Amino acid sequence: MANCVRCGRQLPGFSFGRKICQWCVQHEAAQRGEVADNVRQPVMPSPWVRRGESTIGITQIIFGINVAVFVAMVVQISLGKAPEGSSIMNFGPQIGQWGANIGALTISGEWWRLLTNVFVHGGVIHIAFNMWCLWNLGQLCEALYGGWTYAAIYLICGVGASLASAGWHPYVPSVGASGAIFGLAGALLAAFKLGEFSVPRAALSGTLRSLGAFVVYNLIFGFALPGIDNAAHIGGLITGLIVGALIALMAPRQEQAPRRAAIFLAVILALVGCATELAHYHELPLRFGRSPFDHAANVMPSRVDAGRRWLTLHGG
- Contact between 174 and 234 under an 8 Å Cβ cutoff? The reply is no
- Contact between 176 and 231 under an 8 Å Cβ cutoff? The reply is no
The active-site residue, picked from 121, 233, 295, 314, is: 233
- Contact between 61 and 116 under an 8 Å Cβ cutoff? The reply is no
The active-site residue, picked from 178, 291, 295, 314, is: 178
Q: Is 48 helix (H, G, I), strand (E, B) or coil?
A: coil
Burial class (CB in 10 A: 0-12, 13-18, 19+), 55: exposed
Q: Which residues pair with 3 in a beta bridge?
A: 10
Rounded to 5 degrees, φ, ψ at 88 are: -65, -25
Radius of gyration for the alpha carbons in the chain, expressed in angstroms and rounded? 23
Determine the Cα–Cα distance for residues 295 and 261; give it in Å rounded to an integer: 37
> Which whole-number Å values give the CA distances from 295 to 111, 117, 170, 176, 290, in the listed order?
15, 17, 13, 21, 10
> Which whole-number Å values give the CA distances from 64 to 56, 57, 244, 272, in the listed order?
11, 11, 25, 29
Is 165 catalytic? The answer is no
**Cβ contacts of 283 within 8 Å, gap of 6 or more:** 300
Is 280 catalytic? The answer is no
Buried b (16+ CB within 10 A) or exposed e, 195-218: ebbbbeeeeeeebeeebeebbeeb
Beta strands in 27-158 (DSSP E): none
Q: At what angle do helices 147-168 and 257-281 cross, to 10 degrees?
A: 10
Q: Which residues carry out catalysis? A: 178, 233
